[in-house]
Structure 1
């Protein structure tokens, strides 16, 4: 799902993908040999008599988020006490944009249990085990349903914020912005002050642009079903579009170096270091960032947050993106689906989940487990807003996005590198229209239901 940014770049991306695929084909063949040997051993054992305590290994795949990786690496040891024959291996997935897992999908080597983004669920749906009849499903507020089946359960929900240092705002003489123009003005005043980077963005990792380029358009449009609705438009980009407004906002940040002079040269970790060391005044992230900040800084004495104010006037409703995330799914082709299902139930059990949600400082997705993070309760009282419940699941959007090579975060990188917003939109409209036409021609009734 990459935007074409030049023949050389496209060739490089293709070669990298082919390289990943070749490595995984070799590894999968080796694993098949091991599985064949293991299967032969199991058959021999079954002839000698049943063995209900046979060792089982489950891979639990999650994004490279330090808080989650550390928590679950510790926590799964408790599961082995409950089930001595089951070993759960926490496997880190290098990116949450889906590219790494697509390679794994191509060679049928998905983890047994793993995280997925809402937008990626339609891509993996044919490889996912239905979760309809689980206890965890009946207690989840936001189960992901595709084609009449529940295929993923979100582990968390969270709100998007702009974290900031009150001491910096006080020193510069700015207040929490209430509109998008006020927000841009605050950025520029901090830049003019000369001591701080207005907002830290780790643009070397394209996903860090998501608060602006992924969530900006639906917020500007005021449409919680934005993805589903643009899937029915031939040219959703261009003059006056919500995408254009968000893109030009990013371009202004890039052209005026409001994210520093080297935003494309640093990643997420370096961006958070700039913020945590008070070299940057702000950083835009979900509430999940708070745990990382506390781990690195140790306190929140000079930390506050406010919703990115996408509204154009103070008379409009002030809203903030609130989404379910980290959808846990089960690989239906796993050799251990029963054990994987039992493990998923354990993850969402009251005691385990309560410990996790308090540790992560996110909001609970379960009806019977409350989450009351003190920091965000204080933030929401000081800077009240209404939740904007963004629906990130649209099967038609996922298909068109893939066919049109639409990748808004890559486009954000292009903008920061100096690309024309108008050129990007023109190219994107052409690709989008062709993809939509192809789907309508070859599958005219596919989405009727």
Structure 2
């Protein structure tokens, strides 16, 4: 009798454990709080429908606070199961601290090229620690309706670009270009890093800087600053105090004709405009017609595994799905402007997203010059480029002085630059 009761209790415990094992909730840490409803209404339901017993909780933090909050959680052992990964050095640092798991053996990694994985690998490429999700592309979004009213065509060359800006300014109905310098980062991200690759020749220039064969005081790196200095005449009154949301509002309200952009704005702008006007996009203008064009096609977002997760098996199941063609198609269409890094072909429905991604067929891709290796020391080149770009636009620094200051800072800690 006792033996039977013991066996029954053991069986009950085992079955209870199996049931509990199937009832897993995964928590995703992310800095993208603007797409919470899309995760809740589209992405998570698609996964849960195919994987009963695994629930997913998307728990974002405000972008500016994400790094600090995530690091605190990881140090305290309270972080979620899945970690949304920034590209290159920020995530590499987490991996080196043992706070992101090695995912090299994940079957879904076969669905990504070496270039797609490079933002979330060790420097030697031997270990991959996040599943790539998407890249973003830089260029210019414009008010197509305003252009038609003014008889303007999207510019292809730098001279045409300024001719368009002059025409908009002279006509007077619109601010030629919506961008402020109060927050600094957009001056670098949508300014310097947007147009710069056409001057430093994309990956060739970026790699030369990393190898110490090029300097930030070289003409190829100073010329983009000279272009930014010209922008100040077209940004409207009070741009120095204008924040990033202010610039977004100026464009979506139809008060500005051009917006230096990242493709992530597509999903933000489209519902706000609600048919008030049509949008178009053009890539960074080249110096002369027929020149090779370069675009910042920046590996932006991926998903990794917290090694301390008690739900590692379920988390790996989710990561395998994130690496699938199904997820790639779902994500790219749910969040237009975030372009799949999966090798599988993805058909996108949004026409503006189609315009951005079509540039890959005729332009050479690169990533933001400061993101890999060059911002590991102090002063941090990425953050210093924010300040320099804003200063050049406002006139607080000359292009030459800004470039010299950046190079001096890089030389102070980066041996190849010395």
Q: TM-score, normalised by structure 1?
A: 0.74
**Which residue of 251, 256, 263 maps to 2:239?**
263
Match in the other structure for 1:140: 112
Q: 1:276 aligns with which of 244, 247, 252?
A: 252
Residue 400 of structure 1, CA deviation: 4.3
1:188 aligns to what? 166
Report the counterpart of residue 214 of structure 1 in structure 2: 193
Identify which range, 245-254 or 88-97, moves more after superposition: 88-97
Label 1:211 to 1:87 Cα distance change in 2 as closer, same or farther (>3 A): closer
Task: Give the secondary structure class of the aligned counterpart of 1:149.
Answer: coil
Work out the number of aligned pairs and report it: 389
User: CA, structure 1 residues 420+63, in 2 after alignment: closer, same or farther (shift >3 Å)?
Assistant: same
Deviation for aligned residue 1:378? 6.8
| 2:139 and 2:282 in contact (8 A); partners too | yes
Contact 1:179 1:314 survives alignment (8 Å) = yes
Secondary structure of 2:64 counterpart: coil
User: In the aligned structure 1, how far is the partner of 2:224 from the partner of 2:334?
Assistant: 33
Q: Which runs of 5+ in 1 are unaligned?
A: 1-47, 442-449
C-alpha separation between the residues in 2 aligned to 1:312 and 1:97?
38
1:70 equivalent in structure 2: 37
Change (3 A) 1:117 1:243: farther
Distance (whole Å) between structure 1 residues aligned to residue 182 and residue 81 of structure 2: 30
Do the aligned partners of residues 130 and 289 (structure 1) sit closer, same or farther apart at CA in structure 2, a change above 3 Å counting?
same
Residues 340 and 423 of structure 1, relative CA distance in 2, 3 Å threshold: same
CA distance in 2, matches of 1:230, 1:108: 38
Tell me, yes or no, if structure 1 residue 294 matches structure 2 residue 270: yes
Match for residue 122 of structure 1 among 88, 92, 116:
92
- Note closer, same or farther for the CA distance 1:375–1:414 as it changes in structure 2 (3 Å cut): same
- Preserved CA contact (<8 Å) 1:134 1:345: yes
Q: Determine the C-alpha separation between the residues in 2 that align with 1:110 and 1:123.
A: 16
What is the rounded CA distance, in whole Å, between the counterparts of 2:45 and 2:175 in structure 1? 42
Q: For 1:132 and 1:313, locate their aligned partners in 2 and report how far apart those are by CA, in whole Å.
A: 44
For residue 369 of structure 1, report the CA deviation from its aligned partner. 4.7
Superposition deviation, residue 307 in structure 1 = 0.8
Deviation at 1:72, TM superposition (A): 0.9
Task: State how far apart, in whole Å, the 2-side matches of 1:249 and 1:86 are.
Answer: 50
> What residue number does 2:27 align with?
59
Cα deviation for residue 253 of structure 1 reads 1.4
RMSD: 3.5
Query: Compared with structure 1, are the counterparts of its residues 288 and 391 closer, same or farther at alpha carbon in structure 2 (3 Å cutoff)?
Result: closer
Partner of 2:61: 92
Alignment of 1:386-397 (within 5 A): 386-391=362-367, 396-397=373-374
Aligned with residue 312 of structure 2, among 337, 357, 361: 337
CA distance in 1 between partners of 2:157 and 2:79 (Å): 44
Q: Quote the residue 2:341 is aligned against.
A: 365
SS at match of 2:363: strand
1:143-182 matches, within 5 Å, as: 143-144=117-118, 145-146=121-122, 147=124, 148-182=126-160
1:2-21 equivalent positions in 2, closer than 5 A: none
Residue 412 (structure 2) pairs with residue 434 (structure 1): yes
> For residues 314 and 96 of structure 1, what CA distance do their matches in structure 2 show?
43
Task: State the secondary structure of the residue aligned to 2:216.
Answer: coil
Q: How much has 1:264 moved relative to structure 2?
A: 3.8
Measured against aligned partners, the alpha-carbon deviations of 1:116-148 in whole angstroms (never above 9, x if no partner) come to 332333333313212212232111231233231
Give a deviation string over 1:364-394, Cα, whole Å, max 9, x none.
3223352234514874799896132214597
Residues 192/111 of structure 1: CA separation in 2 closer, same or farther (3 Å cut): farther
- 2:94–2:100 CA contact under 8 A, matched in 1: yes
